[in-house]
Structure 1
Amino acid sequence: MCGILGLVSKDPIDRGRAHAALDLIAHRGPDGDNSWHDSDANIWFGHRRLSIIDLSHAGDQPMHSADGRFVLIFNGEIYNYVELRNELIAAGVTFQSASDSEVIIEGYRAWGVGVLTKLNGMFALALYDRGQRMMLCARDRHAEKPFLYTMGDRFFAFGSEYKALLALPGVPHDHDELRVVTETCQPGSSADRQRQTVFTAIEQLLPGEAMVVNCATLERKTWRYFDIDLTRQRSFADPKDAMAEFRDLFVDSVRIRMRSDVEVGSCLSGGLDSSAIVGAVRHLLGPDAVYHTFTGRFPGTPADEWHFAEMVVNASGVVSHIVEPTVDRFIADLPSFMWHNELPVGSSSQFAQWCVFRLAKEHNVTVLLDGQGADELMGGYEQYFAFYIRSLKARGETARLARELPEIERRYPAAQMDRAMRMKSAVPQRLRHALAHMLNRGSDIRFGLKPGYSEAVSEHTARQDLGSGDPLRDALYEDSFERFLTTLLRYGDRNSMAHSREVRLPFCDHRLSEFVLSLPPELIMGNVQTKRPIREGLREFLPEAIATRWNKQGFRPPQDLWFTSPGFLELMQDTLTSSSFRQSEIWDQKWWLKVLDRIRAGDLGLGWNLWQPFIHEMWKQHFLKPATQGIEPKRLAA
């Protein structure tokens, strides 16, 4: 796990400026700081290393092939590198290291760009072929690791984080304010699902994409090397067979993600996903191996899930570590938190995640397994039942519908939009906006936008018809590879890397995605349950109370209660009355000051709405302004 930065230019490269930009992402790799420069070809690669596999200097990057032809910088892990290495050795390849990085180089020599389809892992990589003066760039299938790039008339540059690219000469700092606000109001709607990022000069590779750059002409070609055939559907005579196959794939996904030359632990929330991972780890390690878990707690509030996490701790015999993400801790960490996240975050749950990763660092556990990805792949939120019902109707499953629909409505009351919500959404936004301001009522975030922008920020981004004929499958695919998960993966990357931790996600194994998205809807959400493959296929790893826990609770602090803190209220007041916020072209200051008054009067639920303009302003103050002025993060954290 590392930080990468690269430059290809038609002019001589200022190596001092390039290395200063690399220093801005030093947190991603505190164990190594190396670069390579080809002055004849005007190419510079910089690498910050977090040592995970082969801790010797043989694993350092930029890594050169034995014959000097290939040069690689790579961020991530290749989990099946052992199998690929053995396959290459059998074909006569000799390795100089025990690293997964060298497997990429020799795999490319053997299989060309076809090596990408063989890699099971998370990665952002650039591999330069000195003989051809061509560079292969690629991003993993789920986009767990970032690959950002920018291009001018005479240069091409890429890197792991915005701040490094914005520090390079010739890279404009312009950004699309409306897109930032749209993403702030609706996380997952824009910032991570398109090639164009919110910064005008910076683009990104999308999930499962690769690019070849001609380093002489700077011409480039981009293609997608991975996708899932959504028309492919498997059938099983017995649902138990499907659950058994899912179980085997999942256990193997966990197994290969435990490969490491440093200590591996787990994030544990007490939810279904992280609990299943811890159970599978204990199954693989045996009863006596020491294994550490890290949990965020919110004692005395409805957000506290320790009761469930404790069940897993007791059942698995792990060593448990606990942190309490408080509002005072958030205020103290805010400048550094925003600097590292680089874009506004959807809620305080991202700060809770930040605290868990910092806790792991305090206990010297470098690698963490986490349950991210299961909700989007297997319908973990009750709102997915609306798509499940549509899928059953499309398949003519009338008997199943008649049997399950009453129980869905009882167990998951928010599964379908009720009549009042449908009526409200039918009222034109301009009219709703005017009435809210007239009556000083309402909680729609768009009421706090100035007229014109309120309509521009659509309440729901339209779903795509992906042609599978199955609305549930389309929704799960879209949310896993284009919408919500890609944003959550950005949060996880920035929060883990801020503390030099590596987070690995067993549910983001492409084999699991291909399998689940080939299942009929009843094997994903049938029998009135979210994430049926986990509840039934992984039952042996779960305490009964967790396997049959029907409510979904996100991992987030009691954010509404933070608004009872005098310090937090003062920070909100200062933010809303600042000259920057008052002069905003998009946010309506008067509306948000009234919202703050309503919160002070006891309407704490509005705190979730006020978070959006607040965190947007904090982003401008603690990331955008420093990044465009070249301020180093250590000055922010001081």
Structure 2
Amino acid sequence: MCGIAGIIAKRPVNPQAVEAMTRKLAHRGPDDQGLWRSGDGKAALGHRRLSILDTSMAGHQPMARDDLVTVFNGEIYNFVELRTELAELGETFATQSDTEVILAAYGRWGTDCFARFNGMFALAILDQPRNRLVCARDRFGEKPFLFAARPGLFAFASEYKALLALSEVSRDFELLPLLRFAHRPATGLDDQRATVFPAISQLLPGERLILDLDSLEHRIDRYWTLRRDQGLAGLGIDEAAERFRDLLTDSVRLRLRSDVAVGSCLSGGLDSGSIIMLARRLLGDGVPYHVFTGRFPGTKADEWEVARHTALAAGAIVHQVEPGAAGLLADLPDFLWANELPVGSASQYAQYCVFRLAKEMGVTVLLDGQGADEILGGYEQYFARYLAGRPETERADEERAIRARYPGALDNPRQALSKALPPRLRHWLARVSGRGSDLLFGLTADLAAQVALANAEPPVPENWPPLSAELARDSFATHLPVLLRYGDRNSMAHSREVRLPFCDHRIAEFALSLDPRLLMGDAQTKRLLREAMKGILPEPVRSRWNKQGFLPPQELWFTQGLAEEAERVIEDPSFAAAGCWNVGWWKSAVKRLRSGEGHLAWMLWRPLMIEGWRRHFLGRINAEPSVPGVLP
């Protein structure tokens, strides 16, 4: 796990610029740093290293082999198998690192190598014989790849702050993506190539980029696209659960490969619990295994009473942290600087605290359960899509069973009517009544209409079951990529590596090819995982029907200082001067919150984060001098 940066230009690159970029990434790689320049000076690559595999200096980057030079962030989990295959083809190796395997694989197979990798990665390979730079991002987008294509210069980096250090990269930002995110946190910031900074773009999951070193023209295409295997549609639940269990076990096995300490994040849910129990099986009883959990004692948000079943069954060494409102307010500048963009809820701060605890305990690598909800149908709202794909003759009985177990899973008629009203009419009603809890009411009428239009639900592909299409979109375009950005930034803020066994393309291809009944039938979320973990996961966890999520008591936190902070933000003249907020509605929202409408804490979080981002990220960026990327 590392930080990467580079500049390719038509004039000699300023080496101080690349060094400035990698300084901005020091938290991603505190163990080593490196800089490489081409003979003509027109290409420079920088790297910061967090040593995980082959921690000797043999793993130093940028790494060169046969006129190929690479900088790489992430892990190729199947590098051992690939190295064996390449050795049988005549390749030799001088290190035990996965970075060298990348170079050998590219030298042997070209850009087709990316489809052979099972891992999380963002990388760039300077291919001098072919006069090109080849870049790629992993299938799920676990690792970031940001780039700026400017006249006479192409630059890339792991984080925005590194690119914004260059004088050629404008620090101007677009407001609409931020407001789209505030309205629906799965959209606006991670679901398209454009970013909040018009000068910066991003590779999307599963994409590769090829840059011509002379013209600096680039093209982007996909090296992987999710496809459904029609041959799996007829599997029954027993066979599917067995095959899924084997896939998940192998995914955990690969992600346990490390030359430094490995542990896990722990919540009270199925996902992290399944990973911990499978890791224990693979490691054996004699190996110490550290798990890290965030607690909120005395509140309904505290999951320890369920999580302890997993910890006890695994014989894990438990470390606990108790995030709170006071800590968030104290950490807010550093937290937003690390995340680089606004975050959707206080859950991300709790995650930030868990990774900080892991650093304090000396555990560098953490396995986590991210991705299971999106791939396997873990959210109650997916039941609507599930029912849409069921035969009419079976739908009524299934709907009754779903409503009995998950009363809030399906819209009631009043909610459906409210959503059907035109955005401008809803906005007017909220302004007149002073009620409502949709973020659109807190925007000016014109902007509210723009955001509602931009965030309209996309059509479902006709050749996919509605549930499968929704899960695929959330896994690779909207919901999960946002969560992966949080995980990347929060872990890297503390120089920790987070590995996600559910984010294995083999698992996604298998699960999304199954009959949707195997995912959400029998009125069960994540039915496939529940069946697969019988006899492995403690029963109180396996059969826990409600999904709580790793959510702090955000409403309580607003009574412990966040409401006052939100009020300060709203009362500040800069809030009205931003020109996007319906200031009166937000002032009313604060009063309503204090009068007992605690649910408004979730809405007030949004302007608190956006305005906090302006101050603590954008303000800090703008206060720092920039460096020219090329020499005069």
After TM superposition, the score normalised by the length of structure 1 is 0.96
Aligned partners of 1:230 and 1:468 also within 8 Å: no
Counterparts of 1:553-568 in structure 2, within 5 Å, are: 553-565=548-560, 567-568=561-562
Aligned partners of 2:182 and 2:439 also within 8 Å: no
Which one-letter code corresponds to 1:51 in the other structure? S
User: 1:465: Cα distance to partner?
Assistant: 2.3
Per the alignment, residue 600 of structure 1 pairs with: 594
CA–CA separation in structure 2 for the residues paired with 1:61 and 1:461: 44
Give SS of 1:201's match: coil
Aligned partners of 1:268 and 1:295 also within 8 Å: yes
Per the alignment, residue 413 of structure 1 pairs with: 407
User: 1:469: Cα distance to partner?
Assistant: 3.3
Per the alignment, residue 635 of structure 1 pairs with: none
Q: Deviations over 1:537-596 (max 9, x none)?
A: 12232111111111111211100011211x333322221122221211111222211211
Give SS of 1:508's match: coil
Give SS of 1:172's match: coil
Matched, 1:147 2:145: yes
- CA RMSD, 1 decimal: 1.4
Per the alignment, residue 616 of structure 1 pairs with: 610
Aligned partners of 2:165 and 2:625 also within 8 Å: no
CA–CA separation in structure 1 for the residues paired with 2:269 and 2:510: 23
Give SS of 1:138's match: strand
1:426 maps to which of 420, 423, 428: 420
The number of residues matched between the two structures is: 625
After TM superposition, the score normalised by the length of structure 2 is 0.97
1:437 maps to which of 431, 448, 464: 431
Per the alignment, residue 459 of structure 2 pairs with: 464
Aligned partners of 2:174 and 2:196 also within 8 Å: yes
User: 1:414: Cα distance to partner?
Assistant: 2.1
1:384 maps to which of 363, 382, 387: 382
Counterparts of 1:62-81 in structure 2, within 5 Å, are: 62-65=62-65, 67=66, 69-81=67-79
Instruction: Report sequence identity in percent.
Output: 50
Matched, 1:527 2:522: yes
Per the alignment, residue 7 of structure 1 pairs with: 7
CA–CA separation in structure 2 for the residues paired with 1:606 and 1:580: 22
CA–CA separation in structure 1 for the residues paired with 2:284 and 2:625: 49
Structure 1 pair 239–19 and aligned structure 2 pair: CA distance change class (3 A): same
CA–CA separation in structure 1 for the residues paired with 2:543 and 2:612: 40
Counterparts of 1:250-329 in structure 2, within 5 Å, are: 250-329=248-327
CA–CA separation in structure 2 for the residues paired with 1:464 and 1:125: 33
Which one-letter code corresponds to 1:411 in the other structure? R
Counterparts of 1:151-550 in structure 2, within 5 Å, are: 151-230=149-228, 232-236=230-234, 238-393=236-391, 398-399=393-394, 401-458=395-452, 460-550=455-545
Aligned partners of 1:231 and 1:469 also within 8 Å: no
Larger relative contact order, structure 1 or 2 (CA cutoff 8 Å, min sep 6): 2
Which one-letter code corresponds to 2:585 in the other structure? W
Q: Which 10-residue stretch deviates more, 134-143 or 461-470?
A: 461-470
CA–CA separation in structure 2 for the residues paired with 1:341 and 1:631: 21
CA–CA separation in structure 1 for the residues paired with 2:586 and 2:396: 46
Structure 1 pair 370–259 and aligned structure 2 pair: CA distance change class (3 A): same
Which one-letter code corresponds to 2:32 in the other structure? G
Give SS of 2:593's match: helix
User: 1:178: Cα distance to partner?
Assistant: 1.3
Which one-letter code corresponds to 2:469 in the other structure? D
Per the alignment, residue 582 of structure 1 pairs with: 576
Aligned partners of 2:121 and 2:138 also within 8 Å: yes
Q: Deviations over 1:514-533 (max 9, x none)?
A: 00011011111111101111
CA–CA separation in structure 1 for the residues paired with 2:169 and 2:253: 42
CA–CA separation in structure 2 for the residues paired with 1:324 and 1:218: 50
Structure 1 pair 458–504 and aligned structure 2 pair: CA distance change class (3 A): same
Aligned partners of 2:63 and 2:70 also within 8 Å: yes
CA–CA separation in structure 1 for the residues paired with 2:491 and 2:197: 23
Give SS of 1:602's match: coil
Give SS of 1:117's match: helix
User: 1:615: Cα distance to partner?
Assistant: 0.7
Q: Which 10-residue stretch deviates more, 330-339 or 231-240?
A: 231-240
Aligned partners of 1:74 and 1:124 also within 8 Å: yes
Per the alignment, residue 81 of structure 2 pairs with: 83
Q: Which 10-residue stretch deviates more, 99-108 or 85-94?
A: 85-94
Which one-letter code corresponds to 2:528 in the other structure? P
User: 1:413: Cα distance to partner?
Assistant: 1.6
CA–CA separation in structure 1 for the residues paired with 2:96 and 2:175: 46
Give SS of 1:127's match: strand
Give SS of 1:392's match: coil
CA–CA separation in structure 1 for the residues paired with 2:597 and 2:468: 38
CA–CA separation in structure 2 for the residues paired with 1:478 and 1:56: 40
Give SS of 1:151's match: strand
Give SS of 2:279's match: helix
CA–CA separation in structure 1 for the residues paired with 2:379 and 2:418: 22
Aligned partners of 1:231 and 1:468 also within 8 Å: no
Give SS of 1:382's match: coil
CA–CA separation in structure 2 for the residues paired with 1:464 and 1:30: 45
Give SS of 1:76's match: strand
CA–CA separation in structure 2 for the residues paired with 1:164 and 1:219: 22
CA–CA separation in structure 1 for the residues paired with 2:99 and 2:579: 47
Aligned partners of 2:4 and 2:158 also within 8 Å: yes
Q: Deviations over 1:75-104 (max 9, x none)?
A: 000000000001111111110110000000
Which one-letter code corresponds to 2:548 in the other structure? Q
Aligned partners of 1:464 and 1:474 also within 8 Å: no
Structure 1 pair 503–375 and aligned structure 2 pair: CA distance change class (3 A): same
1:629 maps to which of 614, 623, 629: 623
User: 1:402: Cα distance to partner?
Assistant: 4.5
Give SS of 1:125's match: strand
Give SS of 1:554's match: coil
Aligned partners of 2:13 and 2:41 also within 8 Å: no
Q: Which 10-residue stretch deviates more, 621-630 or 554-563?
A: 621-630
CA–CA separation in structure 1 for the residues paired with 2:166 and 2:357: 33
Aligned partners of 2:8 and 2:213 also within 8 Å: yes
Give SS of 2:156's match: strand
CA–CA separation in structure 1 for the residues paired with 2:184 and 2:625: 29
Which one-letter code corresponds to 1:407 in the other structure? A
CA–CA separation in structure 2 for the residues paired with 1:589 and 1:610: 12
Aligned partners of 1:269 and 1:309 also within 8 Å: yes
User: 1:441: Cα distance to partner?
Assistant: 1.4
CA–CA separation in structure 1 for the residues paired with 2:238 and 2:571: 60
User: 1:208: Cα distance to partner?
Assistant: 0.4
Give SS of 1:464's match: coil
Q: Deviations over 1:138-158 (max 9, x none)?
A: 000000000000011101001
Aligned partners of 1:463 and 1:475 also within 8 Å: no
Aligned partners of 1:7 and 1:158 also within 8 Å: yes
Aligned partners of 1:166 and 1:628 also within 8 Å: no
Which one-letter code corresponds to 1:32 in the other structure? D
CA–CA separation in structure 2 for the residues paired with 1:190 and 1:342: 14
Which one-letter code corresponds to 2:255 in the other structure? R
Structure 1 pair 581–631 and aligned structure 2 pair: CA distance change class (3 A): farther
2:564 maps to which of 562, 570, 576: 570
Per the alignment, residue 636 of structure 1 pairs with: none
Which one-letter code corresponds to 1:615 in the other structure? M
User: 1:467: Cα distance to partner?
Assistant: 3.5
What 5-or-longer segments of structure 1 have no aligned partner? Answer: 633-638
